[in-house]
Every structure is written in C-alpha cells, then in structure tokens.
Amino acid sequence: MENPPDAGSTVAVWQQKLDEHRNPLSDSKPVKIGQYDKTDIKAGKNWVYLEYLEGEKYNFHCNGEKRKAVILITCDPEATDNTNPLEIIEESKNRTEGCYYLFELAHPEVCEVKTE
C-alpha cells in the first residue's frame, strides 16, 4: 500500500480509518505515526526491533507527546508475506508518557543463518 498523498514521503507508518473493503474513508485524514528518517533499529539473533519516531502529537492522550510505532520482527522460517501479515498488537495511549503503537511481524529474513 502506498502512502496517502497528504501523508508525506518520509512517513513510515500512518493510521487511517477504512471501510469494510479496506478503502480509506473519504472523511478520514491520515495520521502520521512515525517517519523513516527518525528510526531507531536494534537487532538480535532472531529478531529486529524498529522504532519509528516523530509522528503527530496526540490530541488528548499522553500529554500531547508525538506518536511512535514499534515494529517487532521475529524469526519464522515458514512465514510468507501472504500468510503472515503485519499484526497490530496494541496502541498504548492510556498513560502520561511513553505511548506507542505496537506491531509484530514474523518473517524468515530475520532468522539466524546457520553455517556448516
């Protein structure tokens, strides 16, 4: 899926309300969650942790801090793009700071390569 025209080219993660056919609602404006150029990356043996920062500020939650997305990619040698979509785990916004959107994705590309 491409970024909406008004989302901006540096937006990595955005939120938008969709209809039952997964098309954006005409009165729904995309909300920027995190940007490509504001990314923190951590990795281990069988996982990658991506944190996209500098999203739009919350209106009423989280003391108005900027939104961020956390994407945890874990090893699954059997996963495919068709069978393992990006899963939305939670939006943690009922706090005063440290709010985030959490996503999880299982993918073979982060599995440790075993050499013989």
Could you tell me if residue 115 is inside a domain? no
The answer to the question of residue 18 being in a domain is: no
Looking at residue 60, which CATH number applies to its domain?
Answer: 2.70.130.10
Report how far Cα 19 is from the mean position of its chain's Cα atoms: 20
Residue 27 within any structural domain of the chain:
no
Number of domains, the chain: 1
pLDDT (tens digit per residue) in 32-57: 999 999 999 999 999 999 999 999 99
Q: Is the distance from CB of 36 to CB of 52 less than 8 angstroms?
A: yes
Q: Count the residues in the chain.
A: 116
Supply the range of the domain harboring residue 90. 33-110
Domain membership flag for residue 25: no
User: Whole-angstrom Cα distance, residue 110 to residue 108?
Assistant: 6
| pLDDT score for 110 | 94
Q: Please tell me which residue, 48 or 112, carries the higher pLDDT value.
A: 48
